Amino acid sequence: MPHISVKMLKGRTEEQKKAAADKLTAALCEAIGCGDSHVTVGIEDYTAQEWQEVFAEEIEGKADTLYKKPNYDPKSLL
């Protein structure tokens, strides 16, 4: 039942997204000891402009739940 949600800038191919989903699934299964049949992965693409709102809501707005914090200014993507 773990679900991984990936939000990133547009531009990756379907093959890259599939590879990322496969590797994230494998890493999560190894880290927490679950079977891959229980894992789902969603990927959402955003423009740099759209990312500004996502960053504010999902990263700055949920900083207390982040286990890996960003080291960049989202405005640098514009």
Active site annotation includes 2 = yes
| CA angle at 3 for the pair 50 and 16, rounded to the nearest 5° | 60
Catalytic residue among 1, 2, 10, 16: 2
- The alpha carbons of the chain give a radius of gyration, in whole angstroms, of 14
Q: Name 25's Cβ contacts closer than 8 Å, sequence gap at least 6.
A: 4, 36, 39, 41
Give the span between the Cα atoms of 52 and 58, in whole angstroms.
Answer: 10
- Residues annotated catalytic, as ranges: 2
